[in-house]
Every structure is written in structure tokens, then in C-alpha cells.
Amino acid sequence: MNQAKDQQPSTSQRPEDRSTEFVAVEGGAKESASAGTLLVAAYLVMWALLLGFLFIGWRRGQQLAARLESVEKALDRHDAAKGS
């Protein structure tokens, strides 16, 4: 048991012994893109998604209008054949 007490870490664990100033890490991971570049990329992705969503909605609306027109023509033909 005494050996466990003797093998304490080299750094102190008391809060008052810890440094209170900022110390930059040296040799850390380098950032590959700046924050501005990432922000612009995020906005471009969001705009592309929004425009894609609107385009798909518009296309489905056009398909629905075409289908409705064909149904109306079929009903008109049916009414004309029935009325004759």
C-alpha cells in the first residue's frame, strides 16, 4: 500500500496548484479550413437543399396539375358519351 502512495503523478491534483492562465497547446492538430470558409460552405449547402426542396415541390405540383387535367378530360369524355 505504501508503494501506491509513493507513485503519485508528477502533477499536483490540488486546484490551487493548477495554472489559471491560458497555455496554448503546441503541436496540436492543424485546422484544414478557416471558420469563414466553413460558414460559407454551410450556407451554400443549406441554400442548395432549400432550392432542391422547392424544385421537387414545384415539379410534383406540375405533375399533379397534368394528372388533374387528364382526369378532367376523361370525365368530360365520359359525360359526353353518357349524354349522347
Q: pLDDT tens digits for the chain (84 residues)?
A: 555 555 555 555 676 667 678 877 787 777 788 999 999 999 999 999 999 999 999 999 999 999 999 999 999 999 999 876
60 burial type by CB count under 10 A (0-12 exposed, 13-18 middle, 19+ buried): exposed
Rg for the chain (alpha carbons), in Å? 35
Q: What span, in angstroms and rounded, lies between the C-alpha atoms of 82 and 49?
A: 49
Give the per-residue pLDDT at 26. Answer: 81
Q: What span, in angstroms and rounded, lies between the C-alpha atoms of 61 and 8?
A: 72
